[in-house]
Amino acid sequence: MESETPRFAFLPCMAKASASLIGHNTRGVSRAMSNDYPESIAELDLDAVQISPAILNAVKRFASSKPYRGSTRRRIQKFSRAIHDICDAAGVERPRLLFVPDETQDSGQSACIPAIRTIILRGRLSVITSLHEVSHLLNGPSEYVACAWSLRLFRDCFPRSWSRLRFDGHVAVVTRDDT
């Protein structure tokens, strides 16, 4: 079966959306009901996070697509396909995706609004942020769950990139050797 090209919106600018996040799934993460972010990655037990084999395979396909390479438009297509593949693997309806790319901004203003099945990815395209927002769609509002779920998948599916990270609290930061 030939898959269709994912549909997405490409927005050069957009007002900040508010999110009313609903529902939750607390698989394997302490403080799973909390909407607070963890203070550090040390609070998260990544090995306890349960990931279905279908979702793991979808993220591995995303990794093999080399999402850090290509034009912005091509990268958005890779991110869209991955998010849709993850939702298909989870057996949930695909969300509407809005991209507001800006290489001068981080991805911290991205959001998931489950009530209208929408994920908004703002700033630099980030694999971890996209997985984090998908986790909100699948697992609910807990920031602990979303952080642990997205970091576990990134660690397992992007090991080279994972090895280059350092953490500022719970936020992953890429370390680059400029020498």
SS (H, E, C) the chain: CCCCCCCCEECCCCCCCCCCCCCCCCCCCCCCCCCCCCCCHHHCCHHHCCCCHHHHHHHHHHHHCCCCCCCHHHHHHHHHHHHHHHHHHHCCCCCEEEEEECCCCCCCCCEEEHHHCEEEEEECCCHHHHHHHHHHHHHCCCHHHHHHHHHHHHHHHCHHHHHCEEEECCEEEECCCCC
Query: Is the confidence at residue 78, as pLDDT, over 70?
Result: yes
What does the pLDDT look like over 1-57, one tens digit per residue? 444 444 444 443 332 222 222 233 334 444 444 467 767 677 778 888 899 999 999
